[in-house]
Copies of this chain bind each other. A is one copy, B any other.
């Protein structure tokens, strides 16, 4: 889709973020009487136009290439509709502009589709729904009983602050979450004792909440990392000789590393404590007489593990690249249990050492795949 690339750039990434930030700042400015100016309104209309254009482009692309799932009717589509339609509707309905443009705050929901980790968080909340609900029930019980107690204790003395249960509930929420506005403060001994207990319960509830989310996050994170790394390991030809159990074991040892274009992976002369497999992307090994490029599936950096020698060449990525890193300790542990792989690796290293004397620890894709 080369003819669409300029449009792609236009509707994605930095331009979109910039439009979003400008739009939201302009919306905030609209609510300040002193700042409300014609050019603020103009900026808002430009942002709205941008989002409408983005929708149109996405719709056209979707129909053009027939890719699935289709854009129209997808979740993304409805998010986009929510950004474009409400403000004009509100203006047509006769709302004053400074109120109508407040609906532009829905634009911030576009962030949710850009950030990758939201589905992870959603999944954790889904998986841990039961214990989270339990903690929430404890929260509600403490809230209501504390409100009743403080209403009874403080109501007679401060009727305008604790005289009704809803007022007491408001106090209880601000106290149990340890926000503590200080607009309503108990003054009797009983009221303050209840308040102290509520604060301590607040810490406890919060601790449980954090504990549940921390546990859920740790479990889900570990699982996702494993699945993603496993998939990448299966793409490295050199590791195809491993049996299923060996792949699992190696997957547990490898660490995924996403690098931008032109990142330095290893620097000549530095000590080396790991080797690298290229899962996707490409790197350039800066050796004389001319640099060598390694594609996905290759590996490099194994000399440092076999000999303990410093890095013999600087390696730089030429495009966004995903590497799998194997630490020296894991390397020894793994090769101790898989002597075949160790022998093969040393054979490769020996072969490469001979002809590319200066090039350092390199194997090109073709070699590795044999």
Contact = CB atoms under 8 A, between A and B. Distances in A.
Contact of A210 (B30, B144, B151, B207): B207
Interface string A140-175: 110011011001100000000001111001100111
Given A134-B118, A173-B196, A182-B183, A245 B337 contact: yes
A121 interface: yes
A134 B117 contact: yes
A28 B121 contact: no
Nearest to A173: B196
A27 interface: yes
A130 interface: yes
A215 interface: yes
Given A105-B145, A131-B117, A336-B243, A165 B32 contact: yes
Nearest to A152: B102
A130 to B, nearest CB: 5
A189 B28 CA distance: 13
Contact of A115 (B24, B102, B137): B137
B108 A144 contact: yes
Q: For the side of the interface on A, what is the size category?
A: 35 or more
Contacts of A175: 179
Given A32-B164, A169-B28, A215 B208 contact: no
Given A131-B117, A210-B206, A108 B245 contact: no
A185 interface: yes
Given A131-B117, A200-B177, A217 B206 contact: no
Nearest to A129: B117
Interface string A240-265: 00011101100100000000000000
A174 B165 contact: no
9 contacts: A102-B148, A115-B134, A120-B134, A177-B178, A177-B200, A177-B203, A210-B210, A211-B215, A245-B336
Given A181-B185, A182-B182, 13 more contacts: A32-B164, A32-B165, A108-B144, A116-B130, A118-B134, A173-B199, A210-B211, A211-B215, A211-B217, A214-B215, A215-B221, A227-B329, A248-B336
Q: Which 9 residue pairs of A and B lie closest in terms of their CB atoms, listed nearest first? A: A117-B134, A211-B214, A179-B180, A244-B336, A181-B182, A177-B199, A244-B332, A182-B182, A31-B165
Interface of A: 24, 27-28, 30-33, 99, 102, 105, 108-109, 111-112, 115-118, 120-121, 130-131, 133-135, 137-141, 144-145, 147-148, 151-152, 163-166, 169-170, 173-175, 177-183, 185, 189, 192, 195-196, 199-200, 202-218, 221, 223, 226-227, 230, 243-245, 247-248, 251, 273, 327, 329, 332-333, 335-337
